[in-house]
Amino acid sequence: MRLFDTHCHLDDEQFDSDRQAVLSRAADAGVETILAVGTTVGSSVQSVGLAAQYKSVFAAVGIQPNYCGEAAPQDWDQIVELSGAPKVVALGETGLDRYWDHTPFDVQEDYFDRHIRLSQTRDLPFIVHLRDCEADILRMLREARARGPLQGVMHSYTGSAAGAFECIELGLYISFAGMVTYKKSDELREVAKVIPDDRILIETDSPYLSPHPKRGQRPNEPALVIHTAGCLAETRGTSLESFAELTTRNASRLFKLRR
């Protein structure tokens, strides 16, 4: 069995003391590939470094919406430059967030727009963080789609089925994290059930929110993506092995990894 954790903050300091062990446990659990996702210039540089260091790790570079407010003007130039580095297979995470108030919303929109435009010129998929602003995200995605094709993923998706289908229509994939495994997440599992086979992905979003039955484990880590895979396989009436294979193939296609 081979699994692909499409969203991990592997540079997080919570992994500093035992990153090698975290990667070994992931390999033992069948996690063949991990996408290390940046949130700032610093974390993007670190993610690129981890990808250079470890065979199973690839990198995404970008500035997460909650950090755009503190980004210096030259930070974006550095993201553009990093996007051409070896093993960088995506841009992000980007997106919009109305829950936290760390970055003025118009600044978030400006950075989301920059990531999408860079995606369109560099032929790299983008990773979307969405919190409490589905309508704003869809509006910006529609505007961008009018300029050209989109490639990307709605990460740690917790929205509606209608929203997911509109994103799919616009060219995106839908990725589920540990939250979908929680007892009270019946509604989200109903959404996960109807995502087309060729557009569904899995992730840990580690070190955050471990999946059931490891919910109390801190930090979350890539090896635990198997629990999210198992829950979704059961929800969708398929085997863990074939769901693992399906989502790994989907991720490899989106991030253009040779297999």
Cβ contact 56:27 at 8 Å: yes
Q: Is the peptide bond before 222 cis (omega within 30 degrees of 0)?
A: no
Give one word for 172, left, alpha or beta, with left for phi > 0 and alpha for psi -120 to 50. Answer: beta
C-beta closer to Ni ion: residue 124 or 233 = 124
C-beta closer to Ni ion: residue 30 or 92 = 92
C-beta closer to Ni ion: residue 75 or 233 = 75
Going by the DSSP 8-state scheme, the letter that residue 1 receives in this structure is: -
C-beta closer to Ni ion: residue 39 or 181 = 39
CA 34 – CA 2 distance, rounded (Å): 11
Kindly state the smallest distance separating residue 22's Cβ from Ni ion, in Å: 16
Kindly state the smallest distance separating residue 57's Cβ from Ni ion, in Å: 15
Kindly state the smallest distance separating residue 185's Cβ from Ni ion, in Å: 18
**Residues at the contact surface with Ni ion, assessed by CB under 5 A:** 205
C-beta closer to Ni ion: residue 220 or 235 = 220
- For 193-252, give the DSSP string: HTS-GGGEEE---BTS-PPTTSTT-SS--GGGHHHHHHHHHHHTTS-HHHHHHHHHHHHH
Residue whose pair of structure tokens reads 């979704």 in the numeric block: 232
- Token pair recorded at residue 14: 């919570």
Kindly state the smallest distance separating residue 7's Cβ from Ni ion, in Å: 6
- Token pair recorded at residue 11: 């540079």
Kindly state the smallest distance separating residue 37's Cβ from Ni ion, in Å: 6
